[in-house]
Amino acid sequence: MASHKNEVVVEVPHRISGFFEIVDEIDGIKIENPEIMGSRGAGFNLSAVGRTKIQVEKSNTPEINIFINNLKVNQKAETTHYIYNYVKKYLKKVVKINIYHNFDLPVGCGYGASGAGALGTIYGLDHVLNLKWSNIEKGKLAHIAEVVNHTGLGTVCGQLSGGLCILREPGYPCVSERINFPRNLKVICGTFGMIHTKSVLTHPKLNLMIKKAGRKAQKILVQNPNIISFIRASMEFVKETEILHILNLSELEDLIDSLNNLDILGASMNQLGKSVYSICKLEAVEKVEEVLDSYKPEIQVFDLSINKAGPRMINKKNLSFFRS
């Protein structure tokens, strides 16, 4: 007997946050509801994407398997597993679900992989399981999953908004404002390795400094919302938080300084990862890559651009047995 299988692939852009303000309390009282917890800040979606493929088939026993870049991780993928645990109560049939996350850019390095995976998971499950949730409902669960698992605060809202945008208010539903940017800009990134977002968000000193510096950076950008102000606000945020010193990232600091000596719009640190991004015109790409290449083999270099798109389904098959 042939197996009945539903399959969908969802693409969600990677994203870089330039700065953010943690919003986890109101008038000194801790926020308990993860839906309204989050961040203000700004960032941009990238031409690189995270692809989430979901396969669902009938089974005699319920089963979930989760893979990240072809490595089976299951419950270690906390955000994805959280979404599955929430959704499974809506299942009317016993199924086996395989979730495959594959990312163009390194995980844990400040490229919004967890947000891309969260959105890919709920958009994909909604489709193959015929849940018929609204986009608002799907985004809400992805946001909550990130907040609860300390993998992100505002990345999901940014990825849904697309392009370069300001997150004006924390939590969900998203309150964002798109910022226009010149065409033919390049984003050249360099990555040394991971920073665990949870370790920063729960770091008492950094938490306080991020709140203060993020609030200041937000004010700079809101007063003059353009890409130059965004880069300036992001650079000020890195300086004010002292994050490079607190996390002993002197090599990152030296690289950012070297890049900012070039004729480019500007360079700063990805939030949060041992990564830098530089925004430049086409004619400056070669010089930027020369600087980044001088740090090889310790660094990975990526030639990217700003992406106005949000999540999209690119493949869907055999959606029959959940339609009844």
**Cα 270 from Cα 109, distance rounded (Å):** 8
The two structure tokens encoding residue 160: 């849904």
Q: Percent of the chain, pLDDT > 70?
A: 96
Query: Model confidence over 114-123: pLDDT tens digits?
Result: 999 999 999 9
Q: CB neighbours (10 Å) of residue 50?
A: 29
Task: Report the distance separating Cα 171 and Cα 67, nearest Å.
Answer: 28
Instruction: Answer yes or no: same fold for 5-177+309-317 and 182-304.
Output: no
> What pLDDT, on a 0 to 100 scale, did the predictor assign at position 320?
47
Given the candidates 3.20.20.150, 1.25.40.10, 3.30.70.890, 1.10.10.410, the CATH classification of the domain at 182-304 is: 3.30.70.890
The predicted structure's pLDDT at residue 292: 98
Write down the pLDDT at residue 2. Answer: 43
Sketch the domain layout of the chain as residue ranges: 5-177+309-317, 182-304
- Topology (CATH level 3) of domain 5-177+309-317: Ribosomal Protein S5; domain 2 (3.30.230)
Q: Which helix (H) or strand (E) holds 66?
A: strand 63-68
How confident is the chain (324 residues) per 10-residue block, as mean pLDDT?
71 98 92 96 98 95 97 95 96 94 98 98 95 96 96 94 97 96 96 88 87 97 98 98 94 98 98 97 98 97 97 74 47
Tokens of residue 170, six digits: 């924390």
CB 288 within 8 A of CB 195: no
Name every residue whose Cβ is closer than 8 Å to that of residue 137 and which is 6 or more positions away in sequence: none
Closest C-alpha among 160, 148, 173 to residue 24: 148
CB 42 within 8 Å of CB 277 = no
* Six token digits for residue 51: 């692809």
**CA nearest neighbour of 127 among 76, 119, 66:** 119
What confidence score (pLDDT) does residue 5 get? 63
Residue 85 CA: distances (Å) to CA of 12, 165, 307, 311, 312 = 21, 31, 31, 22, 23
CA distance 256 to 278: 8
